[in-house]
């Protein structure tokens, strides 16, 4: 056991975090990847979740993530996920720092990432952020917008696009949430049938609705508050 691990187990927050992770895991299929969203928490809490078995962590700001990534540099098998909306001027850093980017949400950003990935020789896995329920406060492609942009996206040969991501609007019932998640799953199937065979991943579901998302076919859930109780 490393020094980091034994310190984490002695930390008063360890048991609570480990219990919540167990509870989440027991309510979703084993094949669903749990991304622990650590954007509002500390390196200490991340370490506790790591010791409890989590290897995927989600951050929403490039700069905040960098500090934690440096603090946790010894934990070399962590997979870092960028889940927050990405300003153009942060794209280069995001590509350098993250293994996955879930929030590719517009053609101009995709074009920029394509150029940067060519230069940086680093190619994170990318998810297209889609918005299949009306939500003025969220970014992402509607289905119609995505189909309009597909021919241009197809030209960006440096991009490793492997799936879709969605964030639901607040205030949906469980039934409505399930219906929207199912539409995302259907959209992925439609894209595969059009030749986008690599669109296999579905990043959907947060603390409030991860179990519903898993039922609708999520391959990854992004859970923050329910693990870290912020
Ligand atoms: C913050 C955030 C989450 C986690 O939300 P919780 O409600 O804390 O589980 C998931 N996805 C995105 C894109 C987020 O910004």
Q: Bridge partners of 127?
A: 163
166 Cβ closer than 6 Å to some ligand 1 atom: no
Distances, alpha carbon 105 to alpha carbons 29, 102, 111, 139, 164, in Å? 28, 9, 11, 6, 10
Ligand 1 in reach of 85 Cβ (< 6 A) = no
> Domain span at residue 171?
29-41+58-71+81-228
In this prediction the pTM is 0.95
Q: For a pLDDT cut of 90, what percent of the chain falls above it?
A: 91
Distant-in-sequence, close-in-space partners of 51: CB < 8 Å, separation ≥ 6: 4, 5, 8, 9, 14, 18
Kindly tell me if the per-residue pLDDT of 74 is higher than 90. Answer: yes
Does 12 map to a domain?
Answer: no
Mean pLDDT of 179-190: 98
Across 62-83, average pLDDT: 97
For residue 89, give both structure tokens: 């001027």
The CATH number assigned to the domain holding 114 equals 3.20.20.10
User: How far away, in angstroms, is 35 Cα from ligand 1 center?
Assistant: 10
- The pLDDT assigned to 70 comes to 97
% of the chain beyond a pLDDT of 70: 96
Q: Does residue 216 sit within a domain?
A: yes
Determine the number of helices (DSSP H) and then strands (DSSP E) in the chain: 10, 8
* Spacing, Cα 9 to ligand 1 middle (Å): 25
Cα 193 to Cα 219: distance, rounded to the nearest angstrom: 19
**Residue 52 lies inside a defined structural domain of this protein:** no
Q: Is residue 49 within 8 Å of residue 28, measured between CB atoms? A: no
Protein residue with its CA nearest to atom 12 in ligand 1: 83
Q: Which residues pair with 149 in a beta bridge?
A: none
What confidence category does residue 1 fall into, taking pLDDT thresholds of 50, 70 and 90?
very low
Beta bridge partner(s), residue 218: none
Whose C-alpha lies nearest to ligand 1, atom 11? 222
Looking at the structure of the chain, the number of domains it has is 1
Beta-bridge mates of residue 163: 127, 201
65 in any annotated domain: yes
């Amino acid at each position: 056991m490393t020094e980091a691990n034994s310190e984490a187990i002695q930390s008063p927050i360890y048991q609570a975090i480990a219990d919540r992770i167990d509870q989440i895991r027991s309510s979703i299929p084993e094949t669903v990847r749990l991304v622990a969203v650590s954007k509002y928490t500390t390196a200490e809490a991340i370490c506790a979740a790591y010791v409890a078995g989590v290897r995927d962590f989600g951050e929403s700001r490039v700069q905040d993530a960098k500090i934690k990534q440096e603090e946790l540099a010894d934990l070399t098998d962590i997979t870092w996920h960028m889940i927050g909306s990405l300003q153009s001027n942060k794209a280069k850093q995001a590509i350098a720092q993250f293994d996955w980017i879930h929030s590719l949400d517009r053609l101009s950003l995709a074009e920029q990432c394509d150029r940067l990935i060519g230069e940086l020789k680093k190619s994170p896995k990318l998810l297209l952020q889609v918005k299949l329920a009306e939500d003025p406060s969220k970014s992402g492609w509607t289905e119609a917008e995505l189909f309009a942009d597909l021919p241009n996206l197809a030209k960006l040969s440096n991009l490793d696009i492997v799936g879709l991501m969605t964030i639901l609007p607040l205030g949906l019932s469980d039934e409505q949430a399930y219906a929207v998640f199912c539409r995302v799953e259907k959209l992925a199937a439609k894209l595969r049938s059009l030749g986008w065979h690599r669109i296999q991943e579905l990043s959907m579901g947060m603390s409030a609705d991860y179990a519903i998302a898993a039922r609708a076919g999520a391959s990854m859930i992004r859970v923050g508050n329910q693990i870290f109780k912020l």
